[in-house]
Amino acid sequence: MTVLSERIKKTAAAEPTGCYHACMIVMRVTFSLIMLLMFSLPAQAADDAMAPPDATSSPATTAEQPDVIEKAPNMRDEMKAPDKDTAVDIRSYQRKDGATVTEYGQRGHVFKIKVQPAGGLPAYYLYRDPTGNFVRRLPGGATGITPPSWILKEF
């Protein structure tokens, strides 16, 4: 045996901290290599990306684009009386909760209802549905707030 190997054995047996320092050095090197690989992978992935398509080619029609684009409703046309020749009867009253209800009628039939809550935006109910139901319209022309819903699982 050489003098060097005997010294290493004595040092390792006598000083347990020497092994600790060696392990820490190995862990630092390993950690540095892992971090280097982690940060170099996105750069390599960017090199593998496809080139953008030519701007001169015409885009194909996809399923994402609807064939018919729905126009925004014209609130002036919807809010006016059905017939311009006859007078419109307007009845307004206030409910117990503070909301003001205004009914617009013609020849005894109500064609529009405006509900103005105390301190809130008005809601309009229009008689445009042939089944006899009122269609609700908000001030911006929207029919209402519909939260997104998805089917997660069917039984």
Domain ranges of the chain: 3-45, 75-137
pLDDT (tens digit per residue) in 79-136: 665 556 667 788 999 989 899 999 988 777 788 888 898 888 888 877 765 566 666 6
Yes or no: say if 99 and 107 are a contact pair by the CB < 8 Å rule.
no
What is the CATH code of the structural domain delimited by 75-137? 2.20.130.30
Question: What integer pLDDT is reported at residue 139 of this predicted model?
Answer: 58
Q: If phi over 0 gives left and psi between -120 and 50 gives alpha, with beta otherwise, what is residue 144?
A: left
Yes or no: say if 138 and 123 are a contact pair by the CB < 8 Å rule.
yes
Question: What integer pLDDT is reported at residue 145 of this predicted model?
Answer: 58
Question: What integer pLDDT is reported at residue 88 of this predicted model?
Answer: 78
59 DSSP assignment: P
DSSP-derived pairing of the beta strands 100-106 and 89-94: antiparallel
Q: What is the rounded CA–CA span in Å between residue 98 and residue 91?
A: 16
Segments in the chain forming alpha helices (H): 3-14, 16-47, 75-79
Question: What integer pLDDT is reported at residue 126 of this predicted model?
Answer: 76
Q: What is the rounded CA–CA span in Å between residue 110 and residue 47?
A: 67
Question: What integer pLDDT is reported at residue 87 of this predicted model?
Answer: 76
Q: What is the rounded CA–CA span in Å between residue 136 and residue 125?
A: 4
CA Rg value for the chain: 38
Q: Of 151, 106, 142, nearest to 121 (Cα)?
A: 142
pLDDT (tens digit per residue) in 25-76: 888 889 988 888 887 777 666 666 677 767 665 555 555 565 666 666 666 6
Q: What is the rounded CA–CA span in Å between residue 124 and residue 113?
A: 6
